[in-house]
Amino acid sequence: MNEQSIVGAALLGILEGLTEFIPVSSTGHILLAGHFLGFRSTGRAFEVLIQLGAILAILSVYSARLRDLFVRMPHDPGARHFLFGVLLAFLPAAVIGALAHGIIKTVLFETPMLICVMLILGGFVLLWVDRWAIKPKYEDASKYPMSMYFKIGLFQCFAMIPGTSRSGSTIVGALLLGADKRSAAEFSFFLAMPTMVGAFAYDLFKNRDILTVADLPIIVTGFVMAFFSAVIVVRRLLDFVSRRGYALFAWWRLVVGTVGMIALLIWG
């Protein structure tokens, strides 16, 4: 470990927090930035484990809402419907993520050009969906039909490919299935909780034999920076997408993907 590694971890942590909950692919951004910074973590664990900071950020912002849901769950069918819906949406990614973990970490994480391609393709999809003039059928994420929760969970599985975006996949899926822009973003927040906790725990378990105490300062640095930057995004995002939609994030993806692709072709 050196000072350069700590600085790189801090920068990547900020990037993780800023991009985790917007549909631009935090993992894709971190892997591309790490590639050009020359930053490489043990077993690619850093890129997953710093998500704990983003997890704690959304738990802190939504703590009152979560507490209310769990208090109401024993006697409120609506609360049970929503919590079971979130778990149902989480199930496909849990199964596929566990089965494909090796391919994701050793092949997909190591292919920067693929990340750029997915950023660009996802940008075009997001632009198309954002401009799709259709009246939404659902404006409350807690009242989606159970079948819709499961289908959104299937969409989330596309995010196994870096550059696709977990939040982007769930938001696009929800919009195509009839959700309005605000509730689609809010449901992506709730679905992120079990998904990211599961990814964190599984990756920590898989890397338990190769991580050492020397890796801890880098991971902690990234985690802390991810927490503070993610809190800012979570508190602002819903109001932004309600007023402005997702076009800005689509263009963001197109620019980053294109610049990254050109840089890879020039410098490798």
Dihedral of alpha carbons 29, 250, 163, 165, sign: positive
Helix (H, G, I), strand (E, B) or coil at 23: coil
DSSP state of 142: G
Q: Please calculate the CA angle 6-7-13 and round it to the nearest 5 degrees.
A: 85
Q: How confident is the model at residue 2 (pLDDT cuts 50, 70, 90)?
A: low
Q: What is the pLDDT of residues 142-169, one digit of tens each?
A: 999 999 999 999 999 999 999 999 999 9
**Identity of the amino acid at 94:** A
| Helix, strand, coil % in the chain, rounded to nearest 5 | 80, 0, 20
Q: Over 90: is that where the pLDDT of 174 sits?
A: yes
Q: What is the pLDDT of residues 204-254, one digit of tens each?
A: 888 888 888 888 889 899 999 999 999 999 888 889 988 888 999 999 999
The model's pTM: 0.89
Residue 38 backbone class (left: φ over 0; alpha: ψ -120 to 50; beta: rest):
left
Q: What is the pLDDT of residues 46-91, one digit of tens each?
A: 888 888 899 899 999 899 999 999 999 999 999 999 999 999 999 9
Q: What is the pLDDT of residues 91-119, one digit of tens each?
A: 999 999 999 988 988 888 889 999 999 99
Are 43 and 101 within 8 A, CB to CB? no
Q: Over 70: is that where the pLDDT of 18 sits?
A: yes
pLDDT for 6: 87
Q: Over 60: is that where the pLDDT of 1 sits?
A: no
